[in-house]
């Protein structure tokens, strides 16, 4: 199965880091784990490096499986750069929340934190917000549940365990990754909406050709989540105003493209992303870059 480059790189990096930690011992992993910022063991790089350390083989396998399962879909939908930025924001955000909880006394200030869970939980949230009605199987539940209910269940579970459990798991860091992920997505939605409102019904026309792009129309990303809007620099354009209703060729092609994207998204909702053909995945990815 094809694994996109950022997810593949993260999988390799986490596995290699775990092997080095096992070979070099506690001193190596201790320098890269996250400590309370008032501790003499704290270093400025730890809010980034801790997410590549793991406390055991099962800890590593669980996080990497979730990253592979949900991360490859989100990278193919968002693109490599956006996914990587989001992943790191969630991981660092989880570290910040962990530090705050230690500062206010919710957690013991002298424990260390390791694991990609904060970033991975952010990816789970992104999947749930992008495909809220996608049905997934969760062991040991014998029937599929919608992603939005799965995410909601985990939020409640992490809150309850964060305030009651003493199992050594960084439950508040998990929530922190989801919190920063939600903030990041909401900010991007707002930015996309602001850009759309600013352009209104202005039509941008490439000066070098007769083809045109209606910036006032709903974008592909708005259809599936409204999360991101663009990412590439637009070609040199001039702005014209007026009625485009007579541009039959433009409107016909735009309608066909929109119907094809809607069909693919309906297929994702009904049968899952993994059941898309290679061509459909490429169409979905290319549309996300516009």
State the average pLDDT for the chain: 78
Residue-level pLDDT at 199:
59
Residue-level pLDDT at 57:
93
- Six-digit token pair at 112? 């260390």
Whole-number Å distance between alpha carbons of 62 and 40 = 31
- Six-digit token pair at 110? 């002298």
**Domain ranges across the chain:** 5-189, 198-288
Residue-level pLDDT at 74:
93
Residue-level pLDDT at 123:
96
What confidence tens digit (pLDDT) does each residue in 259-274 have? 787 788 777 766 667 6
Beta strands 203-206 and 145-146 are: unpaired
Integer angstrom CA distances of residue 234 from 136, 191, 237, 260, 287:
37, 17, 8, 23, 15
Whole-number Å distance between alpha carbons of 189 and 222 = 8
Assigned CATH topology for domain 5-189: Rhomboid-like fold (1.20.1540)
Burial 178-213 (b: 16+ CB within 10 A, else e): bbbbbebbeebbeebeeebeeeeeebbbeeeeeebb
What confidence tens digit (pLDDT) does each residue in 53-101 have? 998 999 999 999 999 999 999 999 899 999 999 999 999 999 999 999 9
Q: Which regions in the chain score pLDDT beneath 50? A: 201-246, 289
Q: What are the phi and psi torsion angles at 240 (to 5°)?
A: -130, 155
| Residue whose structure tokens are 């904060």 | 118
């Amino acid at each position: 199965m094809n694994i996109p480059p950022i997810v593949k790189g993260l999988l390799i990096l986490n596995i290699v880091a775990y092997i080095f930690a096992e070979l070099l011992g506690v001193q190596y992993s201790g320098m890269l784990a996250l400590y309370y910022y008032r501790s003499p063991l704290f270093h400025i790089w730890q809010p980034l490096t801790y997410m590549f350390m793991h406390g055991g083989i099962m800890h590593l396998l669980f996080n990497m499986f979730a990253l592979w399962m949900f991360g490859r879909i989100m990278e193919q939908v968002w693109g490599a750069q956006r996914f990587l930025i989001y992943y790191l924001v969630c991981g660092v955000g989880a570290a910040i929340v962990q530090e705050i909880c230690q500062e206010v006394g919710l957690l013991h200030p002298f424990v260390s934190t390791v694991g990609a869970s904060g970033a991975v939980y952010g990816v789970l949230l992104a999947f749930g917000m992008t495909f809220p009605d996608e049905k997934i199987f969760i062991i040991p539940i014998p029937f599929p549940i919608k992603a939005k209910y799965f995410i909601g269940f985990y939020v409640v579970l992490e809150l309850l365990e964060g305030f009651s459990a003493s199992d050594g798991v960084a439950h508040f860091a998990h929530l922190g990754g989801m919190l920063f992920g939600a903030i990041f997505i909401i900010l991007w939605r707002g930015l996309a909406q602001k850009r759309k409102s600013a352009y209104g019904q202005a039509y941008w026309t490439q000066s070098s050709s007769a083809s045109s792009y209606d910036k006032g129309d709903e974008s592909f990303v708005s259809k599936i989540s409204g999360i991101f809007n663009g990412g590439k620099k637009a070609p040199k354009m001039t702005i014209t105003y007026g009625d485009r209703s007579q541009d039959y060729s433009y409107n016909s092609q735009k309608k066909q493209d929109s119907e094809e994207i809607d069909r693919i998204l309906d297929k994702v909702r009904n049968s899952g992303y993994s059941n898309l053909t290679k061509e459909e995945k490429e169409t979905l990815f290319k549309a996300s870059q516009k």
